[in-house]
Amino acid sequence: MERANILIIDDDPVCTGVLLAMLGDDYQVTTANSGSGGIELLSTLTPDLVLLDITMPEVNGYQVLKFLQADPSRVNIPVVVISTLVEVSDRDFALKLGADDYINKPIMPNVIQKMVEKYL
């Protein structure tokens, strides 16, 4: 059986490393350390799930969400935002732009696992 593909887009190497350690045994995990790198990967990769940070330099997570929503072939890819932004307005804006879920950092392994299982 083929493993589901998860794309992690986050400029924080610690966060990316933790997610990779948590998910790498069970899923095919691809990472991008910037929003622009994530968009570049999305031009050739159709992941089963995207885990997306919001606060990144140059191209932020909101812009990545807009990119996904503008492409009919990618609009149905589930996106879970994992962010340090804790305001309800940040969460609401991400959901309005097409995110399927929103969780706050620091990463809680049980929350991440449940979220991944929910969308895969």
Alpha carbon distances (Å) from 61 to 79, 92, 106, 117: 10, 14, 17, 22
pLDDT in tens, 105-115: 998 889 999 99
Token pair for 95 = 């959901």
- Rounded mean pLDDT, 31-37: 97
Separation between Cα atoms, residue 84 and residue 48, nearest integer Å: 24
Strands 5-9 and 28-32, how do they pair?
Answer: parallel
CA torsion angle 1 26 108 51 (round to 10): -60
Angle between helices 35-42 and 61-70 (to 10 degrees): 20
- Sketch the domain layout of the chain as residue ranges: 5-119
Q: Tell me the whole-structure pTM to 2 decimals.
A: 0.95
pLDDT in tens, 74-112: 999 999 999 999 999 999 999 999 999 999 999 888 999
CATH level 3 topology of 5-119:
Rossmann fold (3.40.50)
pLDDT in tens, 44-53: 999 999 999 9
